[in-house]
Amino acid sequence: MDTVILVTYKIPGMPMPIKIASTIEPNKEQIYHKLTELVKENNIEGEIHFRKLLVEKENSMYIFGLGEKKCMVLVEKLAKIKEFDS
């Protein structure tokens, strides 16, 4: 069965998490690059640095430091249930 990757960015200073769906799982460098981009776009200050990776089953959580605060990026593998006709 096909899977869809849902990447959720939870960044302090942003009112809501950012969710991105993809068919390809991003690596740590791609996640870091997108996190940096989102922080700059939203004028959030603080140096970003990788803290830890937690893996449970097929899901991963990347924890980054953003100054004194922490950002979480959740990568979930979801089974594709239905494909819409175009």
Per-residue model confidence as pLDDT tens digits over 11-37: 998 999 999 999 999 999 999 999 999
In a domain, 70, yes or no: yes
In a domain, 37, yes or no: yes
In a domain, 41, yes or no: yes
**Containing structural domain, residue 33:** 3-79
What is residue 62's DSSP assignment? Answer: E
Q: Which residue has the tokens 């069965």?
A: 1
In a domain, 67, yes or no: yes
In a domain, 57, yes or no: yes
In a domain, 86, yes or no: no
35, 26 in Cβ contact below 8 A? no
**Average pLDDT over every residue of 73-81:** 89
**What's the pLDDT at 1?**
54
pLDDT at 3 over 70: yes
In a domain, 85, yes or no: no
Strands (E), the chain: 3-10, 18-22, 48-56, 59-66, 69-79
Per-residue CA distances from 47 to 20, 30, 58, 64, 79 (Å): 23, 17, 29, 10, 35
In a domain, 22, yes or no: yes
Q: How many structural domains does the chain have?
A: 1
